[in-house]
């Protein structure tokens, strides 16, 4: 944070942190439109994405960079909200609004930090690195994992199929594909049984070893 910045900088840091805090109160629009009760926030989503990035083992990938990309990629939504495909706003207009929001947000920071966070957001938007491409896959994977969890929580197996359909062909990284395979298997079990208790499918998994 801005310990030694010019006058007013810490005050700007407070405004930055308050805007970041608004992400807690921006619900993810996809769930709102599908009447999910008490849907997750944008920061909930970015939190788990950053943990997905944390557990990447591919040594050709800069893991720390992935974590930062995950933390930053939806940050503009604290100002512009979570614009969903169903909102009928063009990709170009969505990008324009988010770019403006990111300029405002990062303008509250000191020069070095301003550039770092803005550049991370640009890298993700432009998909200009292997890390940005992988984090985009994590974004989609986190979404369908959440869809599956809502189907389990609401005992409505298969109801959020459209989210799975929207990600067809989007996954390429081997670690993402392996988690996707587990997810699809567990979900198929949930749909097949129409089970009210997701634990019936969990039992397919190995138990953790050496955990106590």
Query: How far apart (Å, rounded) are the C-alpha atoms in residues 60 and 174?
Result: 12
Least separation in angstroms between CB 108 and a second copy: 5
Query: Of 91-110, which residues contact a second copy (CB under 8 A)?
Result: 100, 103-104, 106-110
Residue 82 phi, psi (nearest 5)? -95, 95
Closer residue to a second copy in complex, CB, 125/175: 175
CB of 90 to a second copy, least distance (A): 21
Interface with a second copy, residue 64, by CB under 8 A: yes
User: Which residue stretches of the chain are H helix?
Assistant: 9-22, 29-33, 42-54, 63-72, 77-80, 91-106, 111-126, 130-153, 161-165, 174-193, 199-202
Q: Which stretch binds a second copy (CB under 8 A): 88-96, 125-133, 156-164, 180-188?
A: 180-188
Q: Is the Cβ–Cβ distance between 32 and 86 less than 8 Å?
A: no
* Per CB under 8 A, 205 contacts a second copy: yes
Binds a second copy (CB under 8 A): choice among 30, 31, 36, 68: 68
Note whether 203 binds a second copy by CB under 8 A: no
At 191, list the tokens: 């749909």
Q: Which is nearer to a second copy, 6 or 88 (CB)?
A: 6
Residue 73 has which token pair? Answer: 């990629």
Spatial distance between the Cα atoms of 146 and 134, rounded to a whole number of angstroms: 18
Q: Is position 13 an interface residue for a second copy (rule: CB under 8 A)?
A: yes
Give whichever of 59 and 88 is closer to a second copy, judged by the CB atom. 59
């Amino acid at each position: 944070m801005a310990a030694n910045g010019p006058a007013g900088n810490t005050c700007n840091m407070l405004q930055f942190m308050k805007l970041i805090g608004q992400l807690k109160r921006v619900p993810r629009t996809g769930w709102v439109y599908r009447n999910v009760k008490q849907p997750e926030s944008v920061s909930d989503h970015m939190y788990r994405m950053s943990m997905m990035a944390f557990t990447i083992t591919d040594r050709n990938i800069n893991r720390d960079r992935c974590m930062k990309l995950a933390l930053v990629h939806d940050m503009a939504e604290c100002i512009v909200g979570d614009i969903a495909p169903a909102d009928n706003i063009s990709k170009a207009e969505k990008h324009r609004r988010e770019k403006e929001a990111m300029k405002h947000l990062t303008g509250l920071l000191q020069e070095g930090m301003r550039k770092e966070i803005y550049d991370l957001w640009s890298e993700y938007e432009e998909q200009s690195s292997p890390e940005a491409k992988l984090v985009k896959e994590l974004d989609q994977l986190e979404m369908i994992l959440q869809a599956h969890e809502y189907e389990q929580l609401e005992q409505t197996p298969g109801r959020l199929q459209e989210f799975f359909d929207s990600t067809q062909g989007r996954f390429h990284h081997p670690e993402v594909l392996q988690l996707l395979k587990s997810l699809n298997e567990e979900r198929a079990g949930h749909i097949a049984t129409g089970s009210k208790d997701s634990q019936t499918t969990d039992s397919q998994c190995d138990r953790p070893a050496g955990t106590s």
